[in-house]
Structure 1
């Protein structure tokens, strides 16, 4: 299975100590060079920076279609644009991306997507975590934005709603 990721799912899950869920679910991730740079530029002691510099299951990939990257960058940030193009070029089974615009562009191009919340739902479904709510609360407390409706929907999907 080929899985490509954008910056935010890696950063968000690393921040709350749940990055290993990506390895447990998908085995290996491929990130484009720009995503790697975005992560390491966050600071040497950031959890995601430490992870991409030490974990062998997070691999770097190179994009070839720079014209498409530049076209996508008119609407998206550079990491998202490269992640989408890399997913296309590798015929990835899945792109992990959180930002709405990036998800929309990937879907238009026929790339299957999920995001941080989808990863948590899959982890719960596979039995890697017993509860989503504490992790979701940690994410929100660390700056991850999710609407209250989506928050409640996610919890209701796994029987953790109020």
Structure 2
């Protein structure tokens, strides 16, 4: 991500969610140990959308993006993506990041990456996977 975007800012709720994943055996480095990660707190909570169906990570991420115009928001949650797009934010997700890395020659196989994400528990529909593989020039 550093090579793709430079510094990546993220919200405390995202770190909490990652740490919850660590309890399930997923390795999570501390942000201070990674020079391109920056933990930011939403300063104006009134900017955050009033949608209770979003998780805290999505809500804080959208709140941060609203405070930092021009930001690219990285969200995989469908409702979170819709809210961000409705708010006029630029949005991508995990597959978008990987597709960009593939196009820049930083990822040897999009198919292998999709397989690893699925193995890790990420739901990726067959039609979406096919479309991404076509965009990546692998199908």
RCO higher in structure (CA 8 A, sep ≥6): 1
Deviation at 1:36, TM superposition (A): 1.6
Offset from partner CA, 1:95-134 (integer Å, 9 cap, x none)? 0100100000000000000000100110011111122111
Deviation at 1:42, TM superposition (A): 2.6
- Taking the aligned partners of 1:52 and 1:140, their CA distance within structure 2 comes to 25
Question: Within 5 A, what are the aligned runs for 1:12-31?
Answer: 22-31=1-10
Task: Note the aligned Cα RMSD (angstroms).
Answer: 1.7
Which of 108, 117, 123 is the equivalent residue of 1:139? 117
Q: TM-score, normalised by structure 1?
A: 0.78
Q: Name the structure 1 match of 2:128.
A: 150
CA contact (8 A) 2:31 2:39 kept: no
Unpaired runs of at least 5, structure 2 = none
Helix, strand or coil: the match of 1:113? strand
Q: Name the structure 1 match of 2:42.
A: 63
Quick one: structure 1 residues 29 and 125, their matched pair in 2 at CA, closer, same or farther if it must change by over 3 Å?
same
Q: TM-score, normalised by structure 2?
A: 0.90
Q: Do structure 1's residue 129 and structure 2's residue 107 form an aligned pair?
A: yes
Which of 107, 110, 114 is the equivalent residue of 2:92? 114
Q: Name segments (4+ residues, structure 1) moved above 4 Å.
A: none
